[in-house]
Structure 1
Amino acid sequence: MKALEKSIYAHYAVSKAFNKIILSDLDAYDGTKKEQLKSFIEDLQNGGCISGMIGEFIYHADCKTFYKKHLDDLEEIRDELENSLGECIKNRHRLPHYTFMCWLCFEEYCFDIYRSTFEK
């Protein structure tokens, strides 16, 4: 799916894992693949990972495993995001660091795809 290649974060290896998660959830939505992607990301924008809609990131143990596997990429994505915002991103919900990082980076990855694909 071409839209997934448009992210500014596509060069990170973790993007493949994120794409797998996204693609596995699209069948729950109606329409073309592009319409499904738009609906999926809009749901994520409304509820976020904290809503439990991303099965891979519901449990802290799963987030910890994912974080350890993709630690460098996730930390670099956070650094990129903080640099573009010009400020530190706070863990307002006081989540374990690994859960916070998985949620933050996955959401930012998806929102970047949305911006580059649907906000033209």
Structure 2
Amino acid sequence: MTNNTVREWLENWLDDSDDKKTTLEDISSHGCQSGVVPELIYYSDTHKFFDVHYNSIMELVEEYREMTGSEVQFNGDLKNYYSWFAVEFMAWELLNELEMVE
């Protein structure tokens, strides 16, 4: 399975989690900077993730803009920040979907 979107990548990554809800809560609450997503710790990893998922990441940035009326503010390395933002934002969306089902 190819993981063309951030959502597909995250859902696939969550398949290895014993408690998806807790993992999504950890990502949403503490962010990728906490190391909760080991595949996205190093710049080399976040840069590769950004390059592979660029279109999906930019769609999430636009979705965020439309939802909040504000721009995504980043500090530091753009590829790193946008990769983390996309995974955190998608974790928040998946968590909301999961909670609606419960």
TM class by shorter chain equals 0.7 to 0.9
AA in 1 matched with 2:82: M
Matches within 5 A, 1:44-63: 44-63=27-46
Q: How many residues align?
A: 98
Task: Assess if the C-alpha contact under 8 Å between 1:49 and 1:57 holds in 2.
Answer: yes
How does the TM-score come out when normalised to structure 1?
0.73
Q: Identity across aligned pairs (percent)?
A: 20
Q: Which moved more, 1:76-85 or 1:41-50?
A: 41-50
Task: Assess if the C-alpha contact under 8 Å between 2:32 and 2:40 holds in 1.
Answer: yes
2:11 to 13, 19, 29: 19
State the Cα distance separating 1:119 from its structure 2 match. Answer: 4.6
Matches within 5 A, 1:1-120: 13-24=5-16, 26-27=17-18, 36-91=19-74, 94-119=75-100
Following TM superposition, the consecutive aligned residue runs of length 4 or more in structure 1 with deviations greater than 3 angstroms are none
AA in 1 matched with 2:15: L
Counterpart-to-counterpart distance in 2, 1:47 and 1:14 = 18
Cα RMSD between the aligned structures? 1.6
Task: Assess if the C-alpha contact under 8 Å between 2:27 and 2:36 holds in 1.
Answer: yes
What residue is the counterpart of 1:30 in the other structure?
Answer: none
How does the TM-score come out when normalised to structure 2?
0.85
Counterpart-to-counterpart distance in 1, 2:66 and 2:23 = 27
